[in-house]
Amino acid sequence: MTDIGTAGTFKLGDRAVKRMGYGAMQLAGPGVYGPPKDATAAVEVLRAAIESGVDHIDTSDFYGPHVTNQLIRKALHPYPKDLTIVTKIGARRGLEGTWNLAFSAEELTSAVHDNLHNLGVEALDVVNLRIMLDPHGPAEGSIEAPLTVLADLQRRGLVRHIGLSNVTSKQVAQGRTIAPIVCVQNQYNLAHRGDDPLIDELAAAKIAYVPFFPLGGFSPLQSTALSDVAKKLGATPMQVALAWLLRRAPNILLIPGTSSVGHLGENLAAAALRLPDDAMAVLNRIGGG
């Protein structure tokens, strides 16, 4: 079994978590909507993640909706004392699986209570406010109103720590004037490098950066250079892509998702993969770094 602790830890709120975690999005049905084909297998994956040393799980009550949180509760409650569960709010699912903005005070408050209920906790460890001003990615615009609502829920003791998702550097700066921000979750991977400056800003501020779609998401990473490096190292291309992220910056926390125990093991093994400098140079050129 891979010792994922070899990749080190980083502070997420008031806890130091291992840099290799797990993302629960793929445990829901197709399109992250409805129940999984095999709920028993989903529970097995969650338990295998914990048994492998994972102490950071990423989820949301709009995965399903409600499906992943209910699976997490079924599989892991009562939770290990060192487990940090990070959820997100700011969206809701339509009847046909659409992703809709849910930014009103009532919707945000209801989302926090739904997460509390379905996870079976009295307070949420970390809640990321997901900003959806543009369906294609981060877009400038004030986040004061929704973040103020979330900060009030934090003061009421329902939320321990606050993060931001799908945001720009300016929005992070604005957010930090409203509430302490412990993490930022944006799209970033070997080929999608737009957040390079932001990652370095956050590292200097000791704020965690958690890339979603670390392996490309719905368009898996494909590169001859990546495949060549992987072959030389005796690893899979996806393991190399994850190892590159771990080396990219010390504040990066990974949450690769899967619904397969076997695939989970492959992902976690990336924590022990060491990339030599010449391999890093080749990989950096893929994204123009």
Q: Is 63 a catalytic residue?
A: yes
Examine the pLDDT at 289 and tell me if it is beyond 90. Answer: no
171-193 burial by CB neighbour count: b if 16+ within 10 A, else e? bbebbeeebebbbbbbbbbbebb
Task: Give the least confident one: 69-73, 251-255, 282-286.
Answer: 282-286
The CA distance from 244 to 257, in Å, is: 17
Tokens in use for 206?
Answer: 């000791």
33, 63, 188, 209: which is the annotated catalytic residue?
Answer: 63
Over residues 31-43, the pLDDT tens digits come to 999 999 999 999 9
| Band of pLDDT at residue 218, cut at 50, 70 and 90 | low
Average pLDDT, the chain: 95
User: How far from chain centre, in Å, is Cα 77?
Assistant: 20
| Band of pLDDT at residue 129, cut at 50, 70 and 90 | very high
Task: Give residue 1's pLDDT.
Answer: 67
**Domains, the chain, ranges and CATH?**
4-286 (3.20.20.100)
Examine the pLDDT at 119 and tell me if it is beyond 70. Answer: yes
Mean pLDDT for 234-251 is 97
Mean pLDDT for 51-78 is 98
Examine the pLDDT at 219 and tell me if it is beyond 70. Answer: no
Task: Give residue 136's pLDDT.
Answer: 80
* Residues above pLDDT 70, as percent of the chain: 98
Over residues 190-201, the pLDDT tens digits come to 989 999 999 999
